[in-house]
Amino acid sequence: MSVVDVVAVLTEQTTQCGASNYWAKLKERLKAEGANELLTNCQQLKLPAPDGKMRLTDVADTKQVLRLIQSIPSKKAEPFKIWLAQVGKERIDETINLELTDELTKAWSGLDTRQYKKIKRLKKHDRTFTDLRGFYGSLRSPCEAKLL
């Protein structure tokens, strides 16, 4: 995706020049903050410009665009930032639940989950982490649930 186009939408820039200037200033700020990964991995491709000519333009993949969204203070970026925070929280919860699964399995079988599955010749199941989170969430004491 064109970085300038993403910046234009998020910052509601009315001109391509305004979006380009915003991106240039943002690059300076990111470099000063040490966010070099985004800048280093940003490649340039020839894309059609508003004047119809093919011009080199900074482009970004999905990961870079999501990082860019985090860097821009904007009403339009806020829903994405909320979504990213929710996905991050869910991923942390999944990790905690996997550790809890291992602890529960070890408590009743004396083996960790991987060892137990190997002995019983169990294959990966189709349950999602969300299903397991609901089950293990009901096993936590109210005190433990407040910590998560």
Closest CA to 132 of 103, 97, 104: 97
Q: How many CB atoms lie under 10 A from the CB of residue 137?
A: 14
> Which tokens is 125 given?
């199941």
Among the residues of the chain, which ranges form H helices? 3-11, 16-33, 36-41, 62-71, 78-109, 113-120, 129-139, 142-147
Is-contact 8 49, C-beta < 8 A? no
In the chain, where are the structural domains located?
3-76, 81-147
pLDDT tens, per residue, the chain with 148 residues: 889 999 999 999 988 899 999 999 998 888 888 877 777 677 888 988 888 899 898 998 888 888 889 889 989 999 989 999 999 888 888 777 777 777 777 787 788 777 777 787 776 554 444 444 454 454 444 444 444 4
